[in-house]
Structure 1
Amino acid sequence: MVMARRGASRAALCVVAMVCAAAVFSVADAAGNTLQLKHRPLTVERIRQGKVERAGAAARRLLASSDEVTGDHAEVITNYMDAQYYGEITLGTPGQSFEVVFDTGSSNLWVPSKKCAWYQLACKLHNQYDSSASSTYVANGTEFAIQYGSGSLSGFLSADTCSVAGFELQQQTFAEATNEPGLSFVMGRFDGILGLAFERIAVDGVVPAFYNMISQFNIQPLFSVWFSRKANASPGGEIVFGGTNPDHFDGNHTYVPVTREAYWQFAVDSATVGSGDFNFCDGGCPAIADTGTSLIAGPTEEVTKLNKMLGATDAVAAECKQYLSSYLPELLQKVKNSTPLEACQDIHLCDKVEGVLRRASRKHSAARRSLASVGARSVFEEEEQGGDICHLCQVAATFIESALASNATDEWVEKFVEDEVCNNLLPASGEGVVDCDKVDSMPDIDFTIGGRNFTLTPDQYILKVSSAGQSECISGFMGIDLPPAAGPLWILGDVFLGAYHTVFDFENKRVGFANSK
């Protein structure tokens, strides 16, 4: 799932907003059992932290080079910092309630354990399963671990009665998590994850909950998902186990075969911006339908080009410019009479810190080489006063010094420094920020799947999200590069699934899409 770099320009972008409205989704009965979900609106902070953790997972976990996918690879593309939709299940007798993300990008069920250590904050802040309080608990004890970008989530297996959407699953094996890494699980409104992907990627060979629904209740081996993209809508979404609800889609579903029985992976024929102005996924590409991802994620190079076509500014560059603009005029004046480090100390962005750029050449080209060699890319990695903020200041001051040698005007120097530091020096994030006033004039984007065009309009693929109390418009396309054995891969998350009602058909090994209503 899905993500960006943290900037010094906002206070701790990696710290998630802890207060978010949750809208309860009431659901109507259909040809199957339905489940109430809750919807958590997106914020910039959660989107970006989601990318950070997902990218970390991809970097840590390489899939096997063969076509086989085993359980210990279940989470390479899965992340929940930006998860929006989750619902209630119970475990044990009497039932202990848990909010879980229903995730088509994984196959295991896990919840926090009462046996986690006192210092496990993620565990202590959420509902915890207490085996001693259940009369139907069956001990297992097998060690369990899933690798995430922020570390390994670990615990042990147990079995108990599990109630999901009215189905009481007997002796459902699940994991009791005793170690939960990263902000995703500390700040998440959900307690755990219920995976809805294929059994072959289940960690420890555990039989997934939906497989047990099929075998124990003889339901039709499919489930369907509808997400409303309307803010604070009620009802706002549903998941139907064993059927579909015609109230939430128009016409017939277009089905495509699953190409890899691991995630719900299928082939996209092509994708086009507007009237063919830009084609991505040229010649076809693999994609997955992932309910655990909020955005549409794809290879960073292609997404960067796509966002540029949409008139989006790279998020890292925009954030960098916003921060630089707050102190550039004063810094420029200081550099005229002192060294870059001294100038940054004078404006209190460096506090008696040895400058990483002190040895940089005064010539522009040499300065660029030196900046690259000392790792200027790390400017947005932390938020330490006298650390990366100081480094960023010295980067800017060094370019100011170089530009002043040409006798340019102050205005020209400021623009030059912003462009050099923010546009050229820092790597693209794959995340785009757009002008909210221009959304209506943006082009449609068409995904061709199974020979049919599935169109996303600007109001569907541009997300208006909150950031520090203000609205910001973010492209729904996010860059993420997966290891070669897993990627390149497009991840069609809630931005796409919100527009199209989706059927996940186990029996016929296919995915179907129809217009949502």
Structure 2
Amino acid sequence: MNLLPAVAVLVFTLASVACVTQVLRLPFSQGLRPRARTHRNVLRRPNALKIPVRSPGPLPDPPPTPTPKDVKLVNFNNKFYYGPITIGTPGQEFNVAFGTDTPSTWIPTVHSPPENLAHHHCRRYDNTSSSTYRANGQEFSLVHTLGLVNGYLSRDSVTIGDITAKNQIFGEAVLLPDGLQDDILTDGIIGLGKRDYTENDHLTVFDNMVSQGLLPDSVFSFYLNRFDTADPESVLTLGGTNPSYYTGKFTFADIVAPHRWQFRMDGVQVSELYGIFSPRPFQAVVDSGTSMIVGPMEITDHLNENLGGKPLPGWPKMYEFDCDVVGTLPDVEFVVNGETLSVSSKDYILKLQGEGQTHCYSAILGRNMHDEEAPVWILGTPFMRAYYTQFDAGNNRVGFAKAKHTKLELELFG
């Protein structure tokens, strides 16, 4: 939405004035002669002609300058984060994940047969109830972490916080993957990833907000807290950063891929005592939609074993730790643009309740690499809990600053 400056229009109404002059004829015999009026006398007549000028009144206030907006997020068991949006007019409410790994936005549709939706508790978008809905009809299909999402594209208003992107293209999901379980609390996804211009000719929700002048800058940022009871709440900031949630300066890394928030990472290390596990540069991506830190299996296995972790039976990529020693484990360090970004065991160890006791697992997970173009490391939410992360589309870079954790978080996690 382009906000045009208000224009005050002054309308002057001129009334036609008819001047009627009566000539007074007097007999000359009385010695009286009419005195001729000179041009000079006419000009000297006071108030010969006055045009009333109406006051224009006060000018309307200019539209407010956009400012960064905070959107509160919910921390679900330190696994993923979600928040509220509305779509359409009047707004239909949904809870969505905000993923930086995809540019696509999708919501389940009421026009799907119930058997096609994996989790039946989700709320569904009804385009017939929205006055701002516009049909598109193009089919879409994308790969979710747990399988395929299929449907068709539509256009409507999408509101995050109090910011409304008009004429936003998004997917109405007809088919969802079976892997989405009933305990997943989100209805869909708002894609904050970089657009692949070879495949997508439409703007993301964030890009649309920027193009419509709703945000002061093409930057968005995440603060992710460490537990769902911690204060303050997790926050997505649209249009900039919020200094309330970080401390110190940002370390920036330039984006090196056209369609991912992908950058060059110099290496991964623990300390001189444990050794450097990945001294050579790798490609990395920071992803708010991944609940782990993922790297090459030969590196993550070596790292977890040297930290004292034991492979989890049946889950060879997962490592379990003795919860009593977690607080003594060293930091894992990610070297970016020559700066060392340290992630403590508070963030790379997950504490989960099960069978009446607490279990501790490494959030550093290995995977086999098959796609040569894919980033080798994925820095997911465990990394983002340690570092306030800004995604700067205008300067094509990502930035990391130390997250400002609260007293309550420190009491819970040491």
Change in Cα spacing, 1:178 to 1:185, as seen in structure 2 (3 Å) is farther
Does the 8 A contact of 1:106 with 1:202 survive in 2? no
| Matching residue of 1:120 | 116
Distance 1:253 1:202 in 2: 32
> In the alignment, is residue 34 of structure 1 matched against residue 70 of structure 2?
yes
Corresponding letter in the other structure for 1:226:
Y
Quote the RMSD (CA, aligned, Å). 1.9
Which of 166, 169, 172 is matched with 2:165 structurally?
169
8 Å CA contact 1:151–1:182 kept in 2: the answer is yes
Q: Deviations over 1:343-379 (max 9, x none)?
A: xxxxxxxxxxxxxxxxxxxxxxxxxxxxxxxxxxxxx
**Whole-angstrom distance in 1 between the partners of 2:67 and 2:130:** 32
Residue type at the aligned position of 2:328 = S
1:264 matched residue in structure 2: 261
Residue of structure 2 in register with 1:336 after alignment: none
CA drift at 1:267: 1.1
1-side partners of 2:257 and 2:327: how far apart? 38
Q: Say if 2:211 is the partner of 1:215.
A: yes
2:82 to 82, 86, 95: 86
**Residue in 1 aligned with 2:176?**
180
Q: C-alpha deviations, 1:277-336, integer Å up to 9, x for none?
A: 2323321111111000111011112111111011100112xxxxxxxxxxxxxxxxxxxx
Which residue is 2:306 aligned to? 309
Report the 3-state secondary structure (helix = DSSP H, G, I; strand = E; otherwise coil) of the residue aligned with 1:304.
helix
Secondary structure at the aligned position of 1:308 is classed as helix
Q: Secondary structure at the match of 1:235?
A: coil
Unaligned runs of 5+ in 2: 1-65, 405-414
Change (3 A) 1:252 1:276: same
Moved more, 500-509 or 273-282: 273-282
- Whether the aligned pair in 2 keeps the contact of 1:144 and 1:175 (CA below 8 Å) is yes
Equivalence for 1:349? none
Task: Choose which of 127, 134, 138 in structure 2 pairs with 1:138.
Answer: 134
Work out whether residues 98 and 191 of structure 1, in 8 Å CA contact, stay in contact via their aligned partners in 2.
yes
Could you tell me which residue of structure 1 aligns to residue 98 of structure 2? 102
Matches within 5 A, 1:236-255: 236-255=233-252
> For the structure 1 residues 201 and 429, does the alpha-carbon distance in structure 2 shift closer, same or farther, using more than 3 Å as the test?
farther
Q: Quote the offset at 1:185 in angstroms.
A: 5.4
Q: Say if 2:262 and 2:375, in contact at 8 Å, map to a contact too.
A: no
The CA distance in 2 between the partners of 1:31 and 1:473, in whole Å, is 41
Structure 1 residue 218: deviation in Å?
5.0
CA distance in 1, matches of 2:378, 2:154: 31
Give, in whole Å, the separation in 2 of the partners of 1:479 and 1:115. Answer: 39
Give 2:148's aligned residue.
152
Equivalent in the alignment of 1:462? 349
Query: Does the 8 A contact of 1:481 with 1:488 survive in 2?
Result: no
SS of the residue corresponding to residue 260 of structure 1 reads coil
| Alpha-carbon offset, residue 121 of structure 1 | 4.1
**How far did 1:231 drift?**
4.4
Residue 186 of structure 1 and its aligned partner are, at CA, apart by: 4.2
- TM-score (ref. length: structure 1): 0.63
1:5-20 to structure 2, matched below 5 A, reads none
TM alignment of 1:309-388, pairs within 5 A: 309-316=306-313
**Native 8 Å contact 2:106 2:170 kept in 1:** yes
- Asked if the contact 2:85/2:96 (under 8 Å) is kept, the reply is yes
The whole-number CA distance in structure 1 between the counterparts of 2:328 and 2:159 is 47
Deviations 1:193-219 (A, max 9, x none): 111111116964331101101001252
- Runs of 4+ aligned residues of structure 1 deviating over 6 Å after TM superposition are none
Query: Does residue 393 of structure 2 align to residue 512 of structure 1?
Result: no
Check conservation: 1:31, 1:244, Cα contact below 8 A: no
Aligned residue type for 1:448: V
Contact kept in structure 2, 1:108 and 1:202, CA below 8 Å: no
Map Cα deviations across residues 484-503 of structure 1 (whole Å, 9 max, x no partner). Answer: 32346101011111011111
SS of residue in 2 equivalent to 1:211:
helix
Q: 1:183 offset after TM fit, Å? A: 2.5
> Residues 201 and 480 of structure 1: is their aligned pair in 2 closer, same or farther, counting only changes over 3 Å?
farther
8 Å CA contact 1:500–1:515 kept in 2: the answer is yes
Which residue number corresponds to residue 391 of structure 1? none
* Match in the other structure for 1:18: none
- Partner SS, residue 391 of structure 2: strand
- Paired residues of 1:296 and 1:490 also in contact (CA < 8 A): yes
Q: Is the strand fraction higher in 1 or 2? A: 2
* CA displacement 1:59-97 (0-9 Å, x = unmatched): xxxxxxxxxxxxxxxxxxxxxxx4x10111100000001
Q: 1:387 — aligned with what? A: none
Name the aligned partner's letter for residue 178 of structure 1.
V
8 Å contact from structure 1 (residues 112, 123) kept in 2: no
Consecutive unaligned residues in structure 1, runs of 5 or more: 1-29, 43-81, 317-379, 381-427
Contact kept? 2:322, 2:360, Cα under 8 Å: yes
- TM-score using structure 2 length: 0.78
Tell me, in whole angstroms, the C-alpha distance in 1 between the residues paired with 2:212 and 2:345: 44
Bigger Rg over Cα? 2
Match of 2:358 in 1: 471
Identity %: 34
Q: Greater share of helix residues, 1 or 2?
A: 1
CA offsets 1:203-246 (integer angstroms, 9 cap, x no match)? 64331101101001252011111111144113221011101111
Q: 2:111 & 2:134 partners in 1: Cα distance?
A: 15
